[in-house]
Amino acid sequence: MFAIISCQKEDIDSSLTPAYLEINNITLDDGTHLPSVTDAWVYVDDNLIGVYELPANFPTSEEGVHQVRIRAGIKDNGISGTRIPYPFYSSYVIDTFDFNSNNALVLTPQVSYIENIDFFNEDFEGVGLDLEITSISDTTILKFNNSTNNYGGAILIDSLFNFELSTDELSDLPQAGAPVYLELDYKSNTQFLVGVYVNFPQSVLQKDLLYINPKEDWNKIYINLTSAISEAVGANSFKVFISMQRDFALDTNSIFFDNIKVVY
């Protein structure tokens, strides 16, 4: 019995020598690092073999030449339990990838925004702003220059009570389940709210979608607007809003923004 078991173990070890794939990060095709891309969705010949948190180093049982496709994975609404491949980033594809056993094969995926999509984009680099300060606000948005000589927006509240900004009216957002996302770079010392104003012919509906927790360092979040937009049958247009209420436990409430994008 001992001899038989030993022989079987030896056969298994000699027949399975996995190749290892290493993916440290995924970047945009302009070289921009995407720390907000947390996962690599890896497909071999269009079959999903796994979702790997970055940086990743993992074995595969593939041999020979195959097509490898990698999609950039995000945390939908910033929630760890809702990880998805971001629908607006293209796949990174290697048509003839030779799996070589006993080696660590390092991949450096680059992705881009897919074709035929539209943006509302405020990066604070222009002269004016495509943002509105709503009537409930007690203060306004400030423009600042950071250490890399890029501009952003800042909201600072030390005595007043409310702040709210919104995008311009967006009248061409798709419905019927087509994806719509808000991309937002931010850091803050207080919680703030993201939502949508739905403009119907005779009324305006406010939809509060997501409270975002404070972040000491810059963070990027992908907020899923799809359901809010698709459910608003008969709406003429939409405005995405960001609001903050004064937290008197802090001397000053602050939020810093950059690259506010509605992608659809």
Q: What is the pLDDT of residues 196-249, one digit of tens each?
A: 999 999 999 999 999 999 999 999 999 999 999 999 999 999 999 999 988 888
| 109, 23 Cβ separation under 8 angstroms | yes
pLDDT of residue 213: 96
The confidence score (pLDDT) of residue 125 equals 86
Q: Could you tell me which residues come within 8 angstroms of residue 81 by beta carbon, excluding any fewer than 6 positions away?
A: none
Kindly tell me if the per-residue pLDDT of 16 is higher than 80: no
Rounded (5°) CA angle 60-62-65 = 135
Both tokens of residue 66?
Answer: 């195959």
pLDDT, tens digit (0-9, with 9 covering 90-100), for 33-55 = 889 999 999 999 999 999 999 99
Question: Does position 17 have pLDDT exceeding 80, yes or no?
Answer: no
Provide mean pLDDT across the span 65-76.
Answer: 96
SS3 content of the chain, % helix, strand, coil (to 5): 5, 50, 40
Give the containing element (helix H, strand E) for 7.
helix 2-15
Q: Copy the structure tokens of residue 155.
A: 């909201």
The amino acid at 67 = Q
The SS3 call for residue 230 is helix
Q: Mean pLDDT in the chain?
A: 89
Q: For residue 17, what are the contacts with CB-CB under 8 A and spacing of at least 6?
A: 101, 102
Mean pLDDT, range 175-194, rounded to an integer: 96
Q: Where are the domains of the chain?
A: 15-111, 119-263
C-beta of residue 250 within 8 angstroms of C-beta of residue 166: no
Instruction: Select the more confidently predicted residue: 166 or 10.
Output: 166
Size of the chain in residues: 264
Domain 119-263 falls under CATH 2.60.120.260:
yes
Are residues 13 and 56 in contact, defined by beta-carbon separation less than 8 angstroms? no
Q: Partners of 143 in the beta sheet?
A: 153
pLDDT of 90-138, one tens digit each?
999 999 988 876 667 899 999 999 999 999 999 888 877 889 888 888 7
Q: What is the pLDDT of residue 134?
A: 86
Model confidence, pTM: 0.88
pLDDT band at residue 166, thresholds of 50, 70 and 90? very high
| Topology of domain 15-111, CATH | Immunoglobulin-like (2.60.40)
pLDDT top residue among 75 and 153: 75
Residues 6 or more apart in contact with residue 90 via CB below 8 angstroms: 111, 112, 113, 114
A 10 A CB-CB count for 164 gives 21
Q: What is the pLDDT of residue 3?
A: 45
Alpha-carbon span 116 to 118, nearest angstrom: 7
pLDDT of 6 above 70: no
pLDDT at 146: 72
The rounded distance, in Å, linking the Cα atoms of 16 and 147 is 51
The answer to whether the peptide bond before residue 55 is cis (omega within 30 degrees of 0) is yes
